[in-house]
Amino acid sequence: MSKQTSKYVCQSCGYVSARWTGKCPNCNEWNSFVEEAVTPLKVVRKSGGIASKLNAISLTDVDSIADVRFVTGMAEFDRVLGGGIVTGSVILLGGDPGIGKSTLMMQVALHLKDKVTLYITGEESPKQVKLRVERLGKATSNIQLLPETNLELITDVIEQAMPDFVIVDSIQTLYNPNLESAPGSVGQVRESTGMLTRIAKKKNIPIILIGHVTKEGAIAGPRVIEHMVDAVLQFEGEKHYAYRILRGIKNRFGSTNEIGIFEMHDTGLREVLNPSEIFLSERTYGASGATIVATLEGTRPLLIEVQALVSTSNYGMPQRTSTGFDLRRLQMLLAVLDKRVGINTGAHDVFVNVAGGIRIDEPAADLGIAASIVSSLRDIPVDSQTVAIGEIGLGGEIRTIAHCDKRVQESAKLGFKNIIIPSTNAKKMKSTKDITIIGVETIQEAIKHLVGT
């Protein structure tokens, strides 16, 4: 009988089976078996007791990570990682197919002129990769291409070549020949990540794993390895816009709320260093239903136009549609407007859109959204020189927001004249000759300032 190289483990209770089964005989869970490689346990026993040669290290003797980062020179990419790539770290770059993950990583590699990058390409042939590189700039000899998907061969090459940096495009194409399951299955993706992580730590080489994730997270893989890697970055954007946002979702070596903004051109991704100006360049003047909000993405303030369209509903069930803003939060805002201000949208369709394909996650945009809704409903435009920020509570109160000074500064820098902020924040701030600060306590008060009575 041939030696068994893989086993199936129930992800729910840990039950081990030699064969795949649909239902776990131990805990009765369905579809919980995932294939794993069988690794024989090596027992380390020395004469002086178990592992007497192993020594714990004092925390003060461990090298600090601050000095083992390297900057790639792509400022937006470095920012999201918290100041560059930490050596020996494993980073997962997820995103929809076609969003530009391979382009981004190739550009990073092209920037690293004094580092040897090993680019493992499991999806495209070297010719296809070269074709892309030709659009992006000049091919350099410090990038080595490896068209391979066999995990064992790949790890051998990494250990022999000892590159400074490894890019795996993509993790879903790799496979360990000892496992029966197909590349891209949960077992294979996890096995590949595990092996590459061990190499990264052992040889101190940073590895980037590219992974396809659909919006619904439908493709097996990247989600299940998020906990195994040091950082998870998500590359996202709307299909019809050129903007791409790189978002930190998890980062063991830095903060996670930084974003990097890029614009896709025919010659690759260009960094957007002054995003507010770009996002405001197409704004609508004089039309109702648009308000400028100052959101904070990581440490950087970003001025964006939020739009609403409120129209009479012709069907029984009024529609609520939102792009770039949480739909449940929108419903909450509509309920607060109804209950606290007496503005009822029960017979109207409400559409909310954040311009430029940006997604706003923070509640400070509440006030801007509410103002746009009321503005559209009454067909009264919000003053184009005004910025509105504030979180709306269920009682209709305008709640304190974080880093108000940064948002006010950015608004002043871009030439806005008035800024409406929560009264608690306003107490700590003074109007200047450039910008008038208006503190508001309730949503009624804010609406009065923004769209009249």
Report the interface residues with ligand TYD, using CB under 6 A: 95, 97-103, 132, 135-136, 264, 266-268
Nearer to Mg ion among residue 95 and residue 187 (C-beta): 95
Residue 300: closest CA among 248, 263, 369 = 248
Residue 268 binds: one of ligand TYD, Mg ion, none (C-beta under 5 to 8 A by kind): ligand TYD
The minimum distance between CB 104 and ligand TYD, in angstroms, equals 7
The minimum distance between CB 237 and ligand TYD, in angstroms, equals 10
Question: Which positions lie near Mg ion, rule CB under 5 A?
Answer: 102
d(CA 421, CA 441): 9
Cis peptide before 102, with omega less than 30 degrees from 0?
Answer: no
Q: Which residue type, as a one-letter code, is found at position 101? A: K
Nearer to Mg ion among residue 265 and residue 428 (C-beta): 265
Say how far residue 291 (Cα) sits from the centre of its chain. Answer: 25
Nearer to ligand TYD among residue 101 and residue 190 (C-beta): 101
Residue 98 binds: one of ligand TYD, Mg ion, none (C-beta under 5 to 8 A by kind): ligand TYD
Nearer to ligand TYD among residue 94 and residue 289 (C-beta): 94
Nearer to Mg ion among residue 102 and residue 276 (C-beta): 102
Residue 295 binds: one of Mg ion, ligand TYD, none (C-beta under 5 to 8 A by kind): none
Nearer to ligand TYD among residue 14 and residue 97 (C-beta): 97
Residue nearest to Mg ion (CB): 102
Nearer to ligand TYD among residue 67 and residue 266 (C-beta): 266
The minimum distance between CB 439 and ligand TYD, in angstroms, equals 45
Residue 84: closest CA among 254, 237, 276 = 254
Please identify which residue in the block is written with the tokens 């989600």: 223
Nearer to ligand TYD among residue 128 and residue 344 (C-beta): 128
Residue 228 binds: one of ligand TYD, Mg ion, none (C-beta under 5 to 8 A by kind): none
Nearer to Mg ion among residue 102 and residue 172 (C-beta): 102
Residue 307 binds: one of ligand TYD, Mg ion, none (C-beta under 5 to 8 A by kind): none
The minimum distance between CB 102 and ligand TYD, in angstroms, equals 3
Residue 415 binds: one of Mg ion, ligand TYD, none (C-beta under 5 to 8 A by kind): none
Residue 132 binds: one of Mg ion, ligand TYD, none (C-beta under 5 to 8 A by kind): ligand TYD
Nearer to Mg ion among residue 94 and residue 254 (C-beta): 94
The minimum distance between CB 263 and ligand TYD, in angstroms, equals 10
The minimum distance between CB 170 and ligand TYD, in angstroms, equals 8
Residue 211 binds: one of ligand TYD, Mg ion, none (C-beta under 5 to 8 A by kind): none
The minimum distance between CB 430 and Mg ion, in angstroms, equals 51
**Secondary structure, 3-state, the chain:** CCCCCEEEEECCCCCEECCCCCECCCCCCECCEEEEECCCCCCCEECCEECCCCCCCCHHHCCCHHHHEECCCCHHHHHHCCCCEECCCEEEEEECCCCCHHHHHHHHHHHCCCCCEEEEECCCCHHHHHHHHHHHCCCCCCEEEECCCEHHHHHHHHHHHCCCEEEEECHHHCECCCCCCCCCCHHHHHHHHHHHHHHHHHHCCCEEEEEECCCCCCCCCHHHHCCCCCEEEEEECCCCCCEEEEEEEEECCCCCCCEEEEEEECCEEEECCCHHHHHHCCCCCCCCCEEEEEEEECCEEEEEEEEEEEEECCCCCCCEEEECCCHHHHHHHHHHHHHHHCCCCCCEEEEEEEHHHCCCCCHHHHHHHHHHHHHHHHCCCCCCCEEECCEECCCCEEECCCCHHHHHHHHHHCCCCEEEEEHHHHCCCCCCCCCEEEEECEHHHHHHHHHCC
Residue 283 binds: one of ligand TYD, Mg ion, none (C-beta under 5 to 8 A by kind): none
Residue 267 binds: one of Mg ion, ligand TYD, none (C-beta under 5 to 8 A by kind): ligand TYD
The minimum distance between CB 145 and Mg ion, in angstroms, equals 14
The minimum distance between CB 101 and ligand TYD, in angstroms, equals 3
